[in-house]
Amino acid sequence: MFFKDIVGQEGIKDRLIKSVQQGRIPHAQLFVGPMGTGKLPLAIAYAQYIMCENRGETDSCGVCHSCKKISKLVHPDLHFVYPAKSSEKKDADAENDYDDTISAWREQILSNPYFSEADWYAQVGLANKQGVISTAKASEVIRKLMLKSFESDYKVMIIWLPERMNVQSSNKLLKLIEEPPEKTVFLLVSENPNAIIKTILSRTQQIMIPPVSRESIALALTDRLSVTPEKAHDISRLANGSWYNAINLLNAKPGDYFQHYSTLMRLCYKRDFKGLIDWSQEVAGEFEREELKQFLAYSLKLTRESMVARVGLSNISYIVGEESGFVQNFSPYISMNAIQEVSDEFSSAYEHISQNGNPQIVLSHMAVGMARFISQKPED
């Protein structure tokens, strides 16, 4: 992984590169930020740069022994810890367990390093459960890091989602972070640092990874994926600083999203409860869970745009084309208060879907719930 593979984040890249060039690599760093900003690929590119035998001014060389191995994620001094299914087995068997998922892990990163926790669980057959970083895993880490490095000056340990460590794992790891073996760098990558035990937090240097700028997202879409500038512009505004969202928006069929959204609003307007139940059934059947979340996020966004349209600020509105026309026509029927209520319904449905709620139940509850907020005649 190169720094140049990561979308945007130039400020962070500079900072990481300087830390290596000035020989001041903090031994435990915590990358914190929202999903889709490139925290994990940044950590891997940083590790590659640290270990590169012939690093350049702005990136690793890509051709040395170390870079070649890291490009396949098989460098013996680059270690990964990530949540997986918890093992009932004893420590002795844990190694085999680990090997089960390491190839899936490599495959996931090499095919697309911007992925969600849910994507990862789906990849390893944990679709309806949350993974953990087990105590066995923590012991394994300690064993590995106690060894002398094999090929590189440095050993790097990347811990993805340390918030998934239980207390025992955290304590084991804490000891290691407090008294690290020589030339060992810990890179923790977290989306929810509040869930990490305080003692670990206080031992790490936190690096906030900000949302990816709109310009960087638009540029990457046009340069890497040959998206038209107009479309890249629209996606970059909706992606909310997340390259992950940008890719999903690109692959999604927004026409379909819009279709479903406008149908929902019309059915609400007509108080057509049977229609709303049919709608829920159809949408639940059409989308996989992740896509359903995307649809709900899209709907939430569009609803909020109605608020902007309603207060007469449509010239700063982020939507275009048929969506904009719909919002303009529909917004008189929805009061400011109702917009809030409808938005809340979308958010709460999003949350329930994220927590593995039954899609059809969640959607019908949401649809029927929001019908009562839509007026039958224009509001003042």
Report whether 326 contacts 262 (CB < 8 A): yes
Minimum distance of Zn ion from residue 71's CB (angstroms): 9
CA distance 183 to 169: 22
Minimum distance of Zn ion from residue 107's CB (angstroms): 23
Closest CA to 232 of 244, 246, 252: 246
Q: Is 221 in the site for Zn ion (CB under 5 A)?
A: no
- Residue from 17, 30, 45, 52 touching Zn ion (CB under 5 A): that is 52
Indicate the length of the chain as a whole number: 380
Q: Is 50 in the site for Zn ion (CB under 5 A)?
A: no
Interacting span for Zn ion (CB under 5 A) from 25-33, 47-55, 112-120, 123-131: 47-55
| Closer by beta carbon to Zn ion, 11 or else 56 | 56
Q: Is 20 in the site for Zn ion (CB under 5 A)?
A: no
CA distance 287 to 92: 42
Going across the sheet that includes 28-32, the strands are 78-81, 155-160, 184-190, 28-32, 205-208
Report whether 69 contacts 48 (CB < 8 A): no
| Closer by beta carbon to Zn ion, 52 or else 239 | 52
Minimum distance of Zn ion from residue 50's CB (angstroms): 10
Minimum distance of Zn ion from residue 130's CB (angstroms): 37
Q: Is 284 in the site for Zn ion (CB under 5 A)?
A: no
Tokens 């990558």, residue located? 189
Minimum distance of Zn ion from residue 253's CB (angstroms): 41
Report whether 28 contacts 177 (CB < 8 A): yes
The DSSP secondary-structure symbol of 133 reads B
- DSSP-assigned letters across all residues of 275-314: HHHHHHHHHHHH--HHHHHHHHHHHHHHHHHHHHHHTT-G
| Closer by beta carbon to Zn ion, 55 or else 260 | 55
Q: Is 44 in the site for Zn ion (CB under 5 A)?
A: no
Binding mask 53-92 for Zn ion (x = CB under 5 A): -------xx--x--x-------------------------
Strand blocks (E) in 162-242: 184-190, 205-208
Minimum distance of Zn ion from residue 185's CB (angstroms): 16
Report whether 135 contacts 172 (CB < 8 A): yes
Minimum distance of Zn ion from residue 145's CB (angstroms): 22
Closest CA to 350 of 286, 300, 275, 278: 300
| Closer by beta carbon to Zn ion, 32 or else 70 | 70
Minimum distance of Zn ion from residue 59's CB (angstroms): 9
Minimum distance of Zn ion from residue 3's CB (angstroms): 12
Biggest CA–CA distance in the chain, Å, is 75
| Closer by beta carbon to Zn ion, 68 or else 372 | 68
| Closer by beta carbon to Zn ion, 6 or else 52 | 52
| Count of residues interacting with Zn ion (CB under 5 A) | 5
CA distance 116 to 105: 13
Interacting span for Zn ion (CB under 5 A) from 9-17, 49-57, 142-150, 178-186: 49-57
| Closer by beta carbon to Zn ion, 66 or else 184 | 66
Coil vs helix vs strand at 136: helix
For Zn ion, the binding residues (CB under 5 A) are 52, 60-61, 64, 67
